[in-house]
Structure 1
């Protein structure tokens, strides 16, 4: 994580990946999931989760699974399956586009499971613009 100070009132944070931002901002919540004997699933279309970040966040690296190279069009069904299996404490998914039908599908899948879902916007503009 790179921290730049533009002035005394404004600080801009730039993260190497959306996953690093989730680990930084949700660290206490994610660490609370370590107590469960379930997997911690991270899904993305490219490698973006570093072991050093997992260690820094204090997560049990033996419970963290990162599945990459999932095409955006297959991501919603992959998330649904993970939620239906109920073997994860949480699922973090980096997604580019989510239509209303996909939102409803995921909402229903979350309601039917006891799993927390973190959806991370992976739009290139939002990723590189700290004020977006």
Structure 2
């Protein structure tokens, strides 16, 4: 995260990735979910999660799993499988194209899982389901 000072009233924050922004913005939620004795799954199409960010957020790095290089077409089914396994306290997925059919699939899987699913758009606008 880079912080630029343009004036005393204006401060611009530039995040290195959508995952870093999510860790910063959702820190209280993630820390509360961190207390569960379950995995914390992060999914993306490229490496985007740094251990230093996990440490800064106060998460247990022993429970954080980051699967990267997932193709978008495999991402929905991977999320569904992880939700159905009920072994994660939360799942964060970086996803760009979510059509209505896939959104319905994920909503059904979330309802049956008791797992929090955070979907992050790669242009740094986040979406929370459940």
Normalised by the size of structure 1, how large is the TM-score? 0.89
| Residue in structure 2 matched with residue 84 of structure 1 by the alignment | 84
| Residue in structure 1 matched with residue 71 of structure 2 by the alignment | 71
| Residue in structure 2 matched with residue 100 of structure 1 by the alignment | 100
Give the distance between the partners of 2:55 and 2:65, measured in 1 at CA: 13
| Residue in structure 1 matched with residue 35 of structure 2 by the alignment | 35
Gaps of 5+ in 2: 126-130
Deviation of residue 12 (structure 1)? Answer: 2.7
1:77 counterpart SS class: helix
Give the distance between the partners of 1:100 and 1:8, measured in 2 at CA: 44
What is the aligned-residue RMSD (CA, Å)? 1.4
| Residue in structure 2 matched with residue 116 of structure 1 by the alignment | 116
> How many residues align structurally?
125
Give the distance between the partners of 2:112 and 2:93, measured in 1 at CA: 18
Give the distance between the partners of 1:34 and 1:119, measured in 2 at CA: 18
Normalised by the size of structure 2, how large is the TM-score? 0.90
Show structure 1 runs of 4+ deviating over 6 A: none
Gaps of 5+ in 1: 128-132
1:31 counterpart SS class: helix
